[in-house]
Amino acid sequence: MPELPEVETVKRGLNRLAQGICVKDVTVTWPAIVQISDELTDFRQAMRGQTLQDVERRGKFLIFNWSDVIWVSHLRMEGKYLLPEHKEVVDKYTHVILELEDGRDLRYRDVRKFGRIKCYPKQQKEAAINALHLGPEPQEVTGEELFNAFQRTKRAIKPCLLDQHIIAGIGNIYADEILWESQIHPETLAANLSEAQCVQLAAAMATIIKRAIEKGGTTVRTYTNALGENGHYQDELKVYGREGLPCARCHNTIEKIKVAQRGTHFCPYCQRIGE
């Protein structure tokens, strides 16, 4: 599942390759992927003639700014945007096709069909983004903000980092990496973290997310980013997917446990509860 750095990489790719594209016609083959707000009567009608101004990102969401409408798009597990020539064959996993004036298509491909594109009139942009109730971005949040948010929960730190309302954009891979970097055990109750630990956590988030964006995100298994490019942060992972291997800091063995139903990688020596 793409997390903030992978979605940011997609955003940058779209801004490089798709800014200014103009939509000639639209085909949707799996209607559940596209949702339109009540003010719009028809997706095809709303999209014809639209020009893409740019793409922004908030948490793991892509915000497409078209001339009169916006899209709020979530890739979920395996959603991808592609920009092939119009004449290229459309495979059975491609569910939304925008035929463009320049001879290409903007295609949305999603093997598992979990992703969503929500289309709103432009005037509703702010309301649509607010309705996502996203927490701050991990590169911007302060230790004090984290400390205050954690006082309101009885949960462990790992599920708090995955909670998009507390902090937007972190998923399973970067949560494990951030906790290792901060030397915090993933089962530590978030409310028990000191202000100093929260400051350390905020710094680790900023450093890791920035570095992962520079490396184009992480490519695990067969997931390539939405424009078919591979990221390289997997070469720098310290704990994720490294159970049984030595910790880069202390050389003890990385373990994998379940925390709040999620596979969680950590170093039992560097990351201890209550220290």
Under the rule (CB under 5 A), what is the footprint of Zn ion? 247, 249-250, 267, 269-270
* Overall size of the chain counted in residues: 275
**8 A C-beta contact, residue 53 and residue 70:** no
Closer to Zn ion by Cβ: residue 131 or 250: 250
The residue from 57, 60, 104, 238 that is catalytic is: 60
The residue from 76, 215, 249, 262 that is catalytic is: 262
- Cα distances from 87 to residues 18, 99, 104, 170, in angstroms, run 18, 10, 8, 38
Which residue has the CB atom at the shortest distance from Zn ion? 247
Shortest distance, position 247 Cβ to Zn ion, whole Å? 3
Mark whether 136 is an active-site residue.
no
Number of helices (H), then strands (E), belonging to the chain: the values are: 7, 11
Shortest distance, position 200 Cβ to Zn ion, whole Å? 16
**8 A C-beta contact, residue 97 and residue 105:** yes
Closer to Zn ion by Cβ: residue 104 or 242: 242
Q: Which residues contact 27 (CB under 8 A, 6 or more apart)?
A: 96, 97, 99
Closer to Zn ion by Cβ: residue 23 or 267: 267
Closer to Zn ion by Cβ: residue 116 or 242: 242
* Token output for 39: 């003010």
Mark whether 262 is an active-site residue.
yes
**8 A C-beta contact, residue 5 and residue 88:** no
Mark whether 39 is an active-site residue.
no
Is 272 one of the annotated binding-site residues?
no
Mark whether 3 is an active-site residue.
yes
CB atoms within 10 A of CB 74: 17
Shortest distance, position 157 Cβ to Zn ion, whole Å? 17
- In 59-159 the beta strands, taken as DSSP E runs, fall at 61-66, 69-74, 80-82, 94-100, 105-109, 116-121
Annotated binding-site members for DNA: 112
Annotated binding-site members: 112
Provide the annotated active-site residues.
Answer: 2-3, 60, 262
